[in-house]
A and B are shown apart, each in its own frame.
Chain A
Amino acid sequence: MAIGRARQVNRGWSRYGIALLALILTSAVGVAVGKAALDPGTLLAILLSKLPFFHVTPWWPASFETILLEVRLPRVLMGALVGAGLSVAGATYQGLFRNPLADPYLVGVAAGAGLGAALAMVAPLPPGLYALGAVQVAAFLSALITVGLVYSLARVGRTTPVTTLLLAGVAVGSLASAATSFVMFAQGDKITVIYAWMLGGFNITGWQQVLLVAPYVAAAVIALSLLGGRANVLQLDEDQARSLGVNVEMAKLGLVLFATLATAAAVSAAGLIGFVGLVVPHAVRMLWGPDHRSLVPLSALVGGAFLVAADTLARAIPGSQDVPVGVITAFCGAPFFIYLLRQQKRSVF
């Protein structure tokens, strides 16, 4: 019958195509742009020379190869992963808390990660561990522990109401932030390094970090998409959700778990980048609807494209310094959010 199909206009496969195209295009531009002037011809040549069947005699300096393969490619890939991870987490939290202001850092992930990183940096660990990514791993684990703590604190009887989850997240997050500040204060000579870590960014991203982050983000995108139907139903009140046959507690747990994994992985690799997880889901909702089954994968694609574009823009600013990508996302995100607020006619949420 007609009604269902009429809705497919903006609900079909074409939107995935558009989002994917956006990601591919921004990634291509991201790989082509940088401090080193790599023309597309050279770029392609370098890439081809690394493939088994092509034999190209290099006319480029060795540093160009390093830059393309060890700096730009992982950097762009990480941008896409972090953008995707933060966006799906943000979309999920916005649905779970039924609050348009929810972002991925709401339940204490960021504060927990920061604390873990700070502790790892001040602890007298053998240098070899740092080379292996001790700080990143510590941040990741600490984030998970923090959210676990939040979740168990928020339990009331056998349920975890979202309001207590929110409050517990804010409380524990503040505690973790305070503890981090204390660590910085107590180890004053390490303030610079700790602060540098928290500023984050993709400047020193290598393949090792990408490989550490990719599985979690991928798992989260898949799981949260699959849980999308339940996420939709959870936006009704819990009575309605239960009477529709959804195991509300398990669904909440699953959503929080995977959203946290993605955010923890993102923050441990790239620090705190704001606005992506907040704004991208709203944009996708405006374009393509609030159904989480499509909102999640689309947010992943659009979020990845957005962050890659922001980082590319940051790198295109003249000068040898690395402009923090969070500055760019804030400059883009804040006006967009104001625009959203002014949409009085219909709320996006």
Chain B
Amino acid sequence: MDNALSIENVTFKFDDRPVLRGVSLELPAGGFLGLVGPNGSGKTTLLRIAAGLLKPSAGGVKLMGRPLEGMSRGELARQLALLPQGTTLPGNFTVWELVLMGRTPYMDLLGRERAADTEIVERAMEMAHCRQLADRRADELSGGERQRVLMARALAQQPRVLLLDEPTAHLDLLHQIAVVELVAELAREGVAALGVFHDLNLAACYCTHLAVLSQGRLVAVGEPREVLTAELLAEVFEVDLCLTSHPEGGPAVLLPHTGGHRNGRGTGQLAAAESLPSIDLPSPNGKPKSGATSAKP
């Protein structure tokens, strides 16, 4: 059986600057692949190439064994849905109207929705937990609500492959987990998913596989427990994290160190106040703590 998505040796250059170098990746049917990597590693670019929005400089992408290039826009949209990050939504449309746009690839010339479309839209909204928002205007939604509406719209496309760009951004814990669980469930039911994540733990818990990008190259792919090692984290993410085992079994859990360790060059906990450069802050009674400049409170 063909893989849901086959990314074959994709290279992408932006104005001669290489963004992706020979990346090959397979998303099997029913798989949930988490794409992780530091900022600037090319994750979003790879996702957009997989969605058919960008043409690679070399290499190609196949959807169910068929090259993307050979597919019409409409065909592609009926099989693949993209949940982008930080999108604009026209403020005066209602949630219902926005989710209905997910049916565009199926609508006829007149663009009239049929009863089937209505039902699918309702179901999609239920699955994405935004049914109660149906009559709300887009400009009245919170960040989390928006994300759910976009998820509903993607589901309304009835895709075989779902591409997600940081789907948990702006969501509270409840909804973060709800979304990722939903995607995992969909994957089990046959909608393969490829998602870009920043939260390694969340990705590790739910994804069947993880792929790690660093500076445009694929440096590791496999099951989460195999991929997430201290060496990889140090090398790729430039962090020194504490790995510990999940109490319920499952892939390793990553936590920042506590108590006095300074981590790498990147993010990490900063230990004590004395490692801060000296800043003159006024004390409550008006006199500066140290140094010359006295600032009026």
Q: Tell me the A residues contacting B by CB distance below 8 Å.
A: 1, 3-4, 6-7, 98, 226, 228-230, 232-233, 235-237, 239-240, 242-247, 285, 289-291, 293, 346-349
Q: Which of A3, A226, A244 contacts B96 (CB 8 A)?
A: A3
Decide if B102 touches A291 in the complex (CB within 8 Å).
no
- Interchain nearest-CB distance for A297 vs B (Å): 12
Contacts of A242 in B (CB 8 A): 52-53, 73
**Which of chain A's residues have a CB closer than 8 A to the CB of B36?**
none
Q: For residue B229, which residues in chain A have a CB less than 8 angstroms away from its CB?
A: none
In the complex, the answer to whether B134 meets A3 with C-beta atoms within 8 Å is: yes
Q: Quote the shortest CB–CB distance from B73 to chain A (angstroms).
A: 5
CB pair B101–A236 under 8 Å, yes or no, is yes
Asked if A229 meets B137 with Cβ closer than 8 Å, knowing A237-B87, A243-B81, the reply is: no
Q: Tell whether, in the assembled complex, residue B77 and residue A244 are in contact, meaning their CB atoms are under 8 Å apart.
A: yes
A237 lies within 8 A of B105 (CB): no
Bound Cα distance A290, B94 (Å): 9
Chain B 42-73 near chain A by CB (<8 Å), digits 1 or 0: 00000010011100000000000000000001
Interface pair B92/A347, CB less than 8 Å apart:
yes
Which partner residue on chain B sits nearest A7 by CB separation? B96
Instruction: Please list the residues of chain B having a beta carbon within 8 angstroms of any beta carbon in chain A.
Output: 48, 51-53, 73-78, 80-82, 84, 87-94, 96-97, 101-102, 104-105, 107, 109-112, 118-119, 121-122, 131, 134-135, 137, 139, 157
Given known A4-B96, A291-B97, contact A98–B111 (CB-CB < 8 A): no
Which B residues lie within 8 Å of A237 (CB)?
Answer: 87-88
Select which of B84, B111, B122 is within 8 A of A293 by beta carbon: B111
Partner of B107 from A7, A229, A240 at Cβ < 8 Å: A229
Report how far A291 CA is from B135 CA in the complex, Å. 14
**Contact pick for A349, options B75, B92, B121, B135, CB 8 Å:** B92
Give Cα A235 to B89, complex, Å: 8
Closest Cβ–Cβ distance, residue A64 to chain B (whole Å) = 45
Given the contacts A1-B118, A243-B81, A233 and B92 also touching, CB distance less than 8 Å: no
CB closest residue in chain A, given B92: A290
Once the chains are docked, how many angstroms separate the CA of A291 from the CA of B82? Answer: 23
Q: State in angstroms the CA–CA spacing of A1 and B84 once bound together.
A: 29
CB distance from A157 to the nearest CB of B (A): 12
Q: Which 5 A-B pairs have the closest CB atoms?
A: A245-B77, A229-B111, A245-B105, A235-B90, A243-B82
Q: Is the CB of A246 within 8 A of B104?
A: yes
| Nearest opposing residue in chain A for B112, CB measure | A293
29 residue pairs of the A-B complex, CB under 8 angstroms, read A3-B122, A4-B121, A7-B135, A98-B90, A226-B109, A228-B111, A229-B104, A230-B104, A230-B111, A237-B88, A239-B53, A239-B82, A239-B84, A242-B52, A242-B53, A243-B53, A243-B81, A244-B77, A245-B104, A245-B105, A246-B104, A247-B73, A290-B90, A290-B92, A290-B97, A291-B93, A347-B91, A347-B139, A349-B90
Contact partners of A245 in chain B: CB under 8 A = 73-78, 104-105
* Extra contacts besides A7-B135, A229-B111, A289-B97 (13): CB < 8 Å: A1-B119, A4-B121, A7-B134, A228-B111, A229-B107, A233-B101, A235-B93, A236-B87, A239-B53, A243-B84, A247-B73, A290-B90, A293-B112
Q: When chains A and B are docked, how far (Å) is the Cα of A142 from the Cα of B226?
A: 68
Residue of B nearest to A286 (CB): B92
